[in-house]
Structure 1
Amino acid sequence: MSDSYEIENNGIDGEDNMGSIYHGLTQANIASSLKQTNKNIAVLTELSLDISQHDLSEYRLGVKNELKPDVCAYLELPTVPDEEVDLISVSQMPELAIEILSPRQAISYLIRKIKAYFALGVKSCWLVNPAIKSVTVYSQPKKSETFGMSVELFDNVMDIRLPVTEIFS
């Protein structure tokens, strides 16, 4: 899968509904497991992050105004100014951004996206690969550790411990 296919077929602002059965199950499992593991974090799926004030052109993502992680977590939920009006995009970056590889995505695209998250101030990023049942935890753009099914994932930055089997069950 070429990077150009990824950018050309990503819809408006580079984001596309890249879901699949395993992608959706994995996304739901991660959100549920994170919330059960740490009651003090706010876990959201498909939240639009407003990047309109940032130049991320060097990452070649084909986006201008928003990035949308599959799952993200905040230690403090962004403030909604009016309880009756929901926010559809937030400028406050999460502490954790998680990307799940879809059957139609190039892994190189998601790695560039992870580097962009770090440039935006995200503290930790995960790259989840349902096809091989692995999770790579990035503590810095070029520093990562990969966890397989038989181990417990440990994110030192977020202080999260999670059996990898929970993600892929």
Structure 2
Amino acid sequence: MTPSYNHSYLAYRIAKVLDQDDKYNLHIEMTLDINGTDYIPDIALYKKEQIDFLHDKIKADKPPLLLVEILSPKQAVNEVTEKFEVYLQAGVKSCWLVIPPTKTIVLFQDIQHPLSCSSGRFSDPVIDLEVAVEDIFS
């Protein structure tokens, strides 16, 4: 699905919030191979490691700590949550569903117990991050 204008802007805002210190490597729209199926999350966050620019990889084969999916205008929530179920079973520790029209972030660390936040402070204990929702949707 082609990212929209708001989708692209929010990906930048979220990446900016996530790139606050030198603890993580941030990847945008990187192909992730999970059990032979390709997934392309909007943002993937890994623990900091040295990047080998001489030997690039076409696909990542290990799960990141965090995956972020920004809901596109023609995308159904169920489509994203089905991916989250796969991601979490594959070892991803945290998934964010960002819903632009309602300015909401939904945190999934367990597919059965999502936590949503539309104002105030949003917290993700997996990556030890707390951010004002308004900082993402400004």
TM-score range, shorter chain: over 0.9
User: How far apart are residue 65 of structure 1 and its match?
Assistant: 2.7
Amino acid of the structure 2 residue aligned with 1:140: D
How much identity, in percent, do the aligned residues show? Answer: 32
Partner Cα separation in structure 2 for residue 147 and residue 41 of structure 1:
24
Q: Are 2:23 and 1:40 aligned?
A: yes
Match of 1:24 among 4, 8, 13: 8
Aligned residues of 1:41 and 1:75 also touching (Cα < 8 A): yes
Amino acid of the structure 2 residue aligned with 1:152: R
Deviation track 1:52-80 (CA, whole Å, cap 9, x = no partner) reads xx2xxxxxxxxx53111101101134864
Q: Are 2:128 and 1:145 aligned?
A: no
Partner Cα separation in structure 2 for residue 78 and residue 129 of structure 1:
33
Partner Cα separation in structure 2 for residue 168 and residue 110 of structure 1:
20
Amino acid of the structure 1 residue aligned with 2:75: Q
Residue equivalent to 1:168: 137
Q: Are 2:79 and 1:95 aligned?
A: no
Match of 1:154 among 111, 118, 123: 123
C-alpha distance 78-99 of structure 1, shift in aligned 2 (>3 A) = farther
Amino acid of the structure 1 residue aligned with 2:43: V
Match of 1:73 among 45, 66, 89: 45
Higher strand content, 1 or 2? 2
Residue equivalent to 1:50: 33
Unaligned 5+ runs, structure 2: none
**TM-score w.r.t. structure 1 length?**
0.76
Q: 3-state DSSP class of the match of 1:44? A: strand
Q: 3-state DSSP class of the match of 1:143? A: coil
Partner Cα separation in structure 1 for residue 121 and residue 58 of structure 2:
34
C-alpha distance 78-126 of structure 1, shift in aligned 2 (>3 A) = farther
**TM-score w.r.t. structure 2 length?**
0.92
How many aligned residue pairs are there?
A: 138
Amino acid of the structure 2 residue aligned with 1:26: L
